[in-house]
């Protein structure tokens, strides 16, 4: 009887198993990148400074007299050129024209005496990161290579492993989005820095132009005042030659110093951009490494889930 009753029972209907492994991946995230601050660029400004000897000469001439240094320089000049030659040389320098070979030879001889040295300005060249930049002185960003990620092929064509693979795809899509967002922040920071660096460079060039134009105007005004005093007080023409030689040397120093300042500003910009790119590339590489780590963890979870499908019997 019992046997018969057992056979008459309705067979239990087996409910379909719904496989879902999404919860296995809920803690898989891409670690955020703490952005790298680009290395600072250290720079110092160059300058050309009038000598104390010239300043003293200007002050003396303003009162109609001459300093002992002016007299010594005049005597040294008189041993090389006549007063008429001195006047011609002074006029040639004042005109800004090209000196003849003979005139240039006389100027070189006058400078060689050393009597004018004390009147000449002092030039300090600009520096960038400790490197002196002269008028004659004039790194590609590193490429970030993203790792080629090979997804693990589960190779099991049953519902359980398909669900594991689908969950992995969903997790990967989330990781992809997180990495894209992180990379956008990093690239955005670089763009912001790039713009700021360009703005500073433009302002620097404008300031350089203004600075050296002002210095030229001041030097020419000072020299004109000194020559006016020499003429008004009937002082030797050698003094005028002295003033014009110093002015000529000063203007040459201004020209080379301005060129050096522009080179330095360009180098500051180039170095700052290189440092910003290096910081960006470091952060992008970190972002990629963090992404790879998370994706590898997700892939390992998917593999474990697929293996559990077989342990549970899967479709067998």
The whole-angstrom distance between residue 61's C-alpha and the CA centroid of its chain comes to 47
How many C-beta atoms surround the C-beta of residue 182 within 10 A? 22
Asked whether 201 and 269 are in contact (CB, 8 A), the reply is yes
Alpha-carbon separation of residue 113 from 72, 79, 196, 272 (angstroms): 11, 10, 51, 46
Residue 150, classified by CB atoms within 10 Å of its CB into exposed (0-12), middle (13-18) or buried (19+), is exposed
Which H helix or E strand runs over 132? strand 131-132
- Partners of 124 in the beta sheet? 47
pLDDT score recorded for residue 26:
65
pLDDT score recorded for residue 136:
73
Q: How confident is the model over 123-132, as pLDDT tens digits?
A: 999 999 999 9
C-alpha–C-alpha distance, residues 155 and 304, integer Å: 13
The confidence band for 121, taking pLDDT boundaries of 50, 70 and 90, is very high
Q: How confident is the model over 16-35, as pLDDT tens digits?
A: 444 455 566 666 777 888 99
Of 223-227, 233-237, 275-279, 290-294, the one with minimum mean pLDDT is: 290-294
Please choose, from the candidates 263, 230, 236, the residue with its C-alpha nearest in 3D space to the C-alpha of residue 60: 230
Span 273-281, mean pLDDT? 96
Within 13 A of 268's CA, how many CA atoms are on the CB side? Answer: 28
Q: Average pLDDT, whole number, for the chain?
A: 84
Which residues touch 42 (CB under 8 Å, ≥6 apart)? 128, 129, 130
Asked whether 263 and 133 are in contact (CB, 8 A), the reply is yes
Give the whole-number percent of the chain exceeding pLDDT 90: 65
Of 10-19, 189-198, 297-306, the one with minimum mean pLDDT is: 10-19
The confidence band for 48, taking pLDDT boundaries of 50, 70 and 90, is very high
Q: How confident is the model over 135-176, as pLDDT tens digits?
A: 874 433 333 333 332 334 334 446 676 776 777 788 788 888
pLDDT score recorded for residue 186:
95
Q: How confident is the model over 230-269, as pLDDT tens digits?
A: 999 999 999 999 999 999 999 999 999 999 999 999 999 9
pTM metric for this prediction: 0.78
Give the whole-number percent of the chain exceeding pLDDT 70: 79
């Amino acid at each position: 009887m019992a046997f018969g009753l057992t056979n008459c029972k309705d067979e239990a209907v087996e409910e379909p198993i719904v496989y879902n492994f999404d919860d296995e991946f809920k803690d898989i995230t891409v670690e955020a990148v703490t952005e790298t601050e680009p290395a600072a660029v250290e720079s110092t400004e160059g300058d050309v400074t009038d000598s104390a000897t010239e300043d003293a000469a200007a002050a003396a001439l303003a009162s109609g007299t001459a300093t002992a240094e002016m007299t010594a320089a005049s005597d040294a000049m008189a041993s090389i050129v006549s007063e008429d030659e001195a006047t011609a040389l002074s006029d040639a320098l004042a005109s800004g024209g090209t000196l003849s070979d003979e005139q240039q030879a006389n100027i070189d001889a006058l400078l060689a005496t050393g009597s004018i040295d004390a009147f000449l300005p002092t030039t300090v060249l600009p520096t960038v990161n400790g490197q002196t930049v002269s008028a004659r002185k004039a790194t590609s960003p590193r490429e970030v290579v993203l790792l080629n990620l090979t997804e693990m092929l589960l190779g099991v064509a049953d519902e359980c492993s398909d669900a594991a693979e689908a969950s992995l795809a969903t997790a990967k899509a989330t990781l992809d989005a997180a990495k894209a967002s992180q990379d956008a922040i990093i690239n955005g920071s670089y763009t912001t820095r790039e713009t700021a660096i360009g703005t500073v460079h433009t302002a620097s060039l404008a300031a350089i132009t203004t600075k050296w134009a002002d210095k030229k105007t001041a030097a020419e005004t000072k020299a004109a005042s000194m020559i006016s005093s020499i003429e008004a007080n009937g002082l030797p023409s050698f003094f005028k030659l002295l003033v014009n030689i110093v002015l000529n040397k000063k203007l040459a120093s201004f020209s080379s110093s301005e060129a050096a300042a522009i080179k330095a500003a360009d180098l500051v910009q180039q170095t700052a951009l290189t440092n910003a790119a290096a910081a960006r590339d470091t952060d992008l590489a970190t972002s990629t490494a963090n992404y790879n780590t998370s994706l590898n963890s997700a892939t390992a979870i998917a593999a474990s889930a697929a293996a559990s499908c077989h342990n549970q019997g899967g479709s067998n």
